[in-house]
Amino acid sequence: MFEFNLCARIETCYRAVRCIYVNIPPMGIKTIFILTAISFGLDARPISYTGGSTIMSFSDNMKDSLYYHYSPSYKYSVGIENLRDNYFNDDYSYVRFTYLLNRKNTENSQRNLYFQSGISSKGFNEYFYGIHGDWETRRLFVGFGLKETEKKIQDYLEQYYQIGVAPYIGDYGDFHTWIILKSKKNSLENKWSTYPVLKFFKGNILMEIGYHEKTNWDAHLMYRF
């Protein structure tokens, strides 16, 4: 049902994407989501520590996706995202690259700005690029993202903004909770959706769930190893 056949010999990144794409049918992704019970913003923690890997699933009104990335350095990550495009009723993959443009560490806060990009398995003329950033303390969190997707059918822009607060300050290893207000819009629907998101994490697992009556569930699950 869900077969990670990376091919006996991967000749190119593009070929690798095609192999994974071929072997994960749309229902396979759906099943993974069901098995994980809930799915989870790809933009949260897009780069791991040096040598770290992250696997995440994401689902909203636009797409259901499964994304794996590896970080050769804390400054960038490379990965493969296999997705079901709910808006254009299509299935394809992206080879993704994320780069840490700027980070400011202080005693009580961290601020990040990332560049993100991806090339589609459907051709080099289908791709996306964008920036996203965040600033957080142990109590407060703000973030934003802008992403332009180029497709043969129609190009579109997605954007989101979010602000969050931790209702309690957990210690290292505790179960952590964030209450976030998220607002997003894409140029296809051209309407803002603002809704609450809950973020939980413990150890190497992170989960985000949001709900809006029009766009339904936003869900994001992440495991880092």
Q: Which residues bind another protein (CB under 8 A)?
A: 45, 47-52, 73-74, 100-110, 113, 115, 129-131, 136-138, 146, 148, 157, 169-174, 176, 201-204, 206, 224
Distance CA 6, CA 74 (A): 25
166-184 in b/e burial notation, b at 16+ Cβ within 10 A? beeeeeeeeebebebebeb
Select 130 or 210, whichever has its Cβ closest to another protein: 130
Residue 213 makes CB contacts below 8 A (sequence gap 6+) with none
Least spacing, CB of residue 16 vs another protein, in Å: 26
Select 5 or 204, whichever has its Cβ closest to another protein: 204
Select 3 or 174, whichever has its Cβ closest to another protein: 174
Residue 146 burial class via C-beta count within 10 angstroms: exposed 0-12, middle 13-18, buried 19 and up: middle
Element (H, E) at 85: strand 76-85
Least spacing, CB of residue 75 vs another protein, in Å: 8
Select 136 or 189, whichever has its Cβ closest to another protein: 136
- The alpha carbon of 210 is separated from its chain's Cα centroid by a whole number of angstroms, namely 14
Least spacing, CB of residue 157 vs another protein, in Å: 6
Least spacing, CB of residue 131 vs another protein, in Å: 5
Select 4 or 124, whichever has its Cβ closest to another protein: 124
Select 86 or 187, whichever has its Cβ closest to another protein: 187
Residue 62 is given by DSSP the state: S
Distance CA 41, CA 144 (A): 11
Least spacing, CB of residue 91 vs another protein, in Å: 26
Distance CA 17, CA 30 (A): 19
Least spacing, CB of residue 109 vs another protein, in Å: 6
- The alpha carbon of 163 is separated from its chain's Cα centroid by a whole number of angstroms, namely 17
